[in-house]
Amino acid sequence: MIYFNCDYMTGAHPEVLKKLYDTNMEHTPGYGMDVYTQEAKALILKSCGLERGEVYFLEGGTQANKIVIDRLLTRNDGVVCCESGHINVHESGAIEADGHKVIALPEKDGKLEAKDLEKYVADFYRDQTHIHMVRPAMVYISHPTEFGTLYTLDELTRIADVCHRYEMPLYVDGARLAYGLVAENTDISLQSLSTIADVFYIGGTKCGALFGEAVVTRRPELFMRFDSLMKLHGALLAKGRVLSVQFIALFTDNLYLRIGHHADRLANKLKEGFRSKGYKLFMDSPTNQQFIIIPNEKIAELRSVVGFDFWGPEGETESIVRFVTDWSTTEEAVDRLLKLI
């Protein structure tokens, strides 16, 4: 059996696990007050090119989204995202559970467009009855998106412009950021992201860690008593360094980007392999998720030897299927898949 179901099927990248092992017997204070957490924060801020800023370590993507949004919004404010936004669809109402409306706008290739955002917010403030409505008070996007696509620097900048004009912090969900940063032709780097977004997170769980995400902000003043808010959400890990040492490993010797490169290269090989055999793409993704349109008969045939996710029907006889690569995907697995199609 070969597996392309998702990027969280195996444990941690060996260099990450080794770091956990190497530090295991040391005594450090709890709740992130340890030296490793300080070291990881410094490493990350440096990689981001931020002289001033703050980093917080959380356990998972939904948790990071939920708590960041809970901090940035006051009670009668909402967060804007696009229809397929993870917070809108696949977080079991985590944002609403904290009292905040998710305002979903149309999208293109999984991306929010600056013009749609501008129109929505301008209309809101023009509406005389807006005291009866939820104020759009921050913006959420993912990079890469749910479909593996990427914003261009220009697209991102235009969204940020609208955000700043209407005083809405821009938050970028980077669950799969490693795969975006090293994608072919992308012009968004960790540094540019760090200065454009008000806050974003560097995904660990789906990029080689056992678990964990690093929330980064250039505006610490927005995150007053954030550790206390983390505690309130049940998200302040007692052995806080368990998260930070993983990020030290990921940000040592470029491991984070090496993981991205490895997965993107194999995903691209997989995509081109399908394409060369006449398959159509549902979405042309430059990152580690590939959405291919495959005849239903072929899907049934592949299922016994290949793991992948069913994404939805495409007409009567075909379906969209998702293949995902990560640090643990081997060249042999891709070759074997391509032989089967």
> Segment 150-189, which members bind a second copy (CB under 8 A)?
none
**Judged by CB under 8 A, does residue 236 bind a second copy?**
yes
Question: With respect to a second copy, which residue has the nearer C-beta, 65 or 290?
Answer: 65
Choosing from 14, 106, 295, 313, the residue that interacts with a second copy (CB under 8 A) is: 14
> Of 101, 44, 60, 73, which is closest to residue 217 (Cα–Cα)?
44
What does the buried/exposed string (b/e) look like for 223-237 if buried means 16 or more CB atoms within 10 Å of the residue's CB? Answer: beebeebbeebebbb
Taking CB under 8 A as the rule, does residue 238 contact a second copy?
Answer: yes
Determine which residue in the list 21, 42, 154, 187 makes contact with a second copy, applying CB under 8 A: 21
Q: Tell me: does residue 330 bind a second copy (CB under 8 A).
A: no
Site string (116-155) toward a second copy, x via CB under 8 A = -------------xxxxxxx--------------------
Shortest Å, Cβ 298 to a second copy:
20
Distances (CA, A) of 59 to 41, 98, 116, 244, 332: 16, 18, 33, 11, 32
What x/- string results for residues 187 through 206 when contact with a second copy is judged by CB under 8 A?
------------------xx
CB of 144 to a second copy, least distance (A): 16
Nearer to a second copy by C-beta: 104 or 153?
104
| 134 vs 293 by CB, closer to a second copy | 134
Under the binding rule (CB under 8 A), the answer on residue 106 touching a second copy is no
Q: What distance in Å separates the CA atoms of residue 237 and residue 235, rounded to the nearest whole number?
A: 6
What are the backbone dihedrals phi and psi of residue 75, each rounded to the nearest 5 degrees, phi first?
A: -40, -60
Q: Report whether 111 contacts 84 (CB < 8 A).
A: no
Site for a second copy (CB under 8 A): which residue of 210, 222, 293, 341?
210
Q: Is 113 in the site for a second copy (CB under 8 A)?
A: no
Which listed range, 29-37, 215-223, 272-280, 282-290, lies at the site for a second copy (CB under 8 A)? 29-37
Among 225, 280, 303, 336, binds a second copy (CB under 8 A): 225
Residues in 264-293 that interact with a second copy by CB under 8 A: none
**Burial degree of 220 (CB within 10 A; 0-12, 13-18, 19+):** middle
Query: Residue 300, Cβ neighbours under 10 Å: how many?
Result: 9
CB-wise, 125 or 280, nearer to a second copy?
125
Beta carbon nearer to a second copy, 151 or 204: 204
197, two tokens: 């977004």
Least Cβ distance, residue 262 to a second copy (angstroms):
15
Q: Which of residues 37-96 bind a second copy (CB under 8 A)?
A: 59-67, 70-71, 74-76, 78, 89-94, 96
Is residue 30 a contact point for a second copy (CB under 8 A)? yes
Which is nearest to 87 in space by CA: 70, 167, 58? Answer: 70
Give CA separation, 178 vs 22, 70, 153, 190, 209, in Å. Answer: 25, 25, 16, 9, 12
Decide: residue 214, CB within 10 A, 0-12 exposed, 13-18 middle, 19+ buried: buried
Give the number of residues in contact with a second copy, rule: CB under 8 A: 77
Strands 309-314 and 318-324, by their bridges, are: antiparallel
CB contact at 8 A, 118 and 162? yes
Residue (93 or 184) nearer to a second copy, CB: 93
Binding mask 241-260 for a second copy (x = CB under 8 A): -x------------------
Measured from the CB atom, is 135 or 218 closer to a second copy?
135
Residue 326, number of CB atoms within 10 A of its CB: 26
Q: Where on the phi/psi map is residue 266: left (φ > 0), alpha (ψ -120 to 50), or beta?
A: alpha
